[in-house]
């Protein structure tokens, strides 16, 4: 199916379900060590998105607690840096941000693999970033309003389903194209909606049938009534394991028989495995990276942080910086034929 461009405006998505799964056991023993580094200047967390979006809200959530776990107890503030599906902020962190711990970036899934599969020239390599941790693990979903003809993924294979996209490089534009190729779905993307609020409004206004490539947690937070009142049908889960809330919705790997197809989705869904990730720029001193990783780990088990997460129904299923570094490195080691296939499939989404 083809892709049509539509102008859009700012985004809104919210955080969601609380889940802390065995993170304490994964913490390196160095978490107890006294770090040599301190930061006394203000830290800015640069958000590759718009105000009110999921990554923005999680960045502000983290910022309220991270500083007290950093030696020097710096103030941590958030600055949104939207543009090019998150690539503008990624380029800034890689090329221009200070390396002294006062600049941290957080990104949606698209920019994580853009250097591998994107058609545009970018000035960064995510495997060279210094990852300090990720707050959540999630799945992306494809969904349609219940009043549309689309009840299961088979319906999207039988007839054209029009879905809203948020721009080149974003999962909303890329994942539907890959599903068309691997599953034979007939998704048509209307792109150019700047954020989640606009895509969901487009569904309500009847401009599109649904959306593909939104995390389940963001959907649950943004439209809890849709799920509660069964106003939406979730067609498929895109990730490496099912959400416990969706036991009867098929996982993409269950629908694929070819190893190369599964490798393709492992690459393209890396952003759901390390949801809400935070990184220092390349070239930051290793001692500083270690100190901020331990500060992030301490924040993830901070009773006040967890209490707010429970109160706001925020998903907290963290990964350590070391784990995020390994996962990103594995994505960048994806076999070349799989990467080339992804690039060929995603090329239309970059136009």
Residue closest to 106 by CA, chosen among 58, 66, 167, 173: 58
d(CA 300, CA 184): 41
DSSP 19: -
pLDDT in the model for residue 230: 96
pLDDT in the model for residue 146: 97
d(CA 7, CA 167): 10
pLDDT mean by block of 10 residues, the chain; 351 residues:
47 40 57 65 95 89 98 97 90 97 94 87 93 92 97 97 84 90 95 87 96 88 91 94 92 93 91 92 97 98 96 89 96 95 76 54
189 neighbors 172 (Cβ within 8 angstroms): yes
Phi, psi for residue 141 in degrees, rounded to 5: -135, 155
Cα 182 to Cα 48, 129, 179, 312, 342, distances in angstroms: 29, 31, 5, 37, 11
Label residue 276 left, alpha or beta by phi (over 0 means left) and psi (-120 to 50 means alpha). Answer: left
**pTM confidence score:** 0.75
pLDDT in the model for residue 195: 81
d(CA 144, CA 176): 13
Domains of the chain, each with CATH number or no CATH: 3-7+139-257 (3.40.190.10), 23-136+270-346 (3.40.190.150)
pLDDT in the model for residue 174: 84
**Residue-wise DSSP of 243-264:** -TT-TTSPBHHHH---HHHHHH
**Residue-wise DSSP of 321-348:** HHHHHHHHHHHHTS-HHHHHHHHHHHGG
Give the length of the chain: 351
Q: How far apart are the first and last CA of the chain?
A: 14
Helix (H) or strand (E) holding 112: helix 109-117
Give every strand in the sheet of 43-47, ordered side by side.
76-80, 43-47, 103-106, 275-280, 130-136, 319-320
Handedness of CA 215, 199, 104, 282 (dihedral sign): positive
d(CA 222, CA 161): 22
Q: Where are the alpha helices (DSSP H) in 42-108?
A: 54-66, 87-95
The vertex-243 CA angle with 304 and 31, nearest 5°, equals 40
């Amino acid at each position: 199916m083809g892709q049509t461009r539509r102008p859009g405006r700012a985004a809104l998505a919210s955080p969601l379900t609380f889940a802390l799964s065995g993170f304490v056991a994964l913490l390196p023993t160095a978490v107890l060590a006294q770090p040599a580094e301190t930061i006394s200047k203000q830290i800015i967390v640069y958000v590759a998105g718009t105000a009110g979006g999921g990554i923005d809200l999680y960045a502000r959530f983290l910022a309220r607690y991270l500083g007290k776990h950093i030696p020097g107890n710096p103030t941590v503030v958030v600055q949104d840096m939207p543009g090019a599906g998150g690539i503008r902020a990624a380029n800034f962190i890689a090329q221009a941000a200070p390396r002294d711990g006062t600049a941290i970036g957080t990104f949606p899934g698209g920019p994580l693999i853009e250097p591998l599969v994107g058609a545009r020239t970018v000035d960064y390599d995510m495997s060279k970033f210094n990852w300090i941790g990720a707050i959540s693990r999630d799945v992306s979903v494809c969904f349609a309003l219940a009043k549309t003809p689309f009840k299961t993924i088979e319906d999207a294979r039988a007839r054209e389903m029009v879905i809203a996209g948020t721009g080149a490089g974003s999962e909303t534009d890329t994942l539907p194209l890959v599903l068309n190729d691997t599953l034979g779905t007939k998704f048509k993307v209307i792109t150019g909606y700047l954020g989640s609020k606009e895509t969901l409004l487009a569904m309500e206004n009847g401009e599109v049938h649904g959306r593909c490539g939104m995390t389940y947690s963001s959907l649950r937070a943004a439209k809890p009534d849709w799920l509660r009142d069964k106003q939406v049908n979730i067609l498929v889960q895109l990730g490496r394991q099912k959400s416990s809330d969706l036991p009867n919705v098929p996982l993409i790997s269950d629908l694929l028989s070819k190893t190369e197809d599964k490798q393709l989705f492992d690459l393209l869904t890396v952003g759901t495995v390390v949801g809400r990730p935070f990184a220092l720029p390349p070239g930051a001193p290793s001692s500083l990276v270690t100190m901020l990783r331990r500060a992030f780990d301490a924040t993830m088990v901070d009773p006040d942080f967890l209490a707010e997460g429970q109160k706001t129904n925020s998903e907290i299923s963290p990964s350590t910086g070391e784990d995020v570094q390994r996962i990103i490195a594995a994505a960048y080691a994806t076999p070349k034929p799989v990467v080339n296939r992804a690039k060929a499939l995603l090329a239309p989404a970059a136009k």
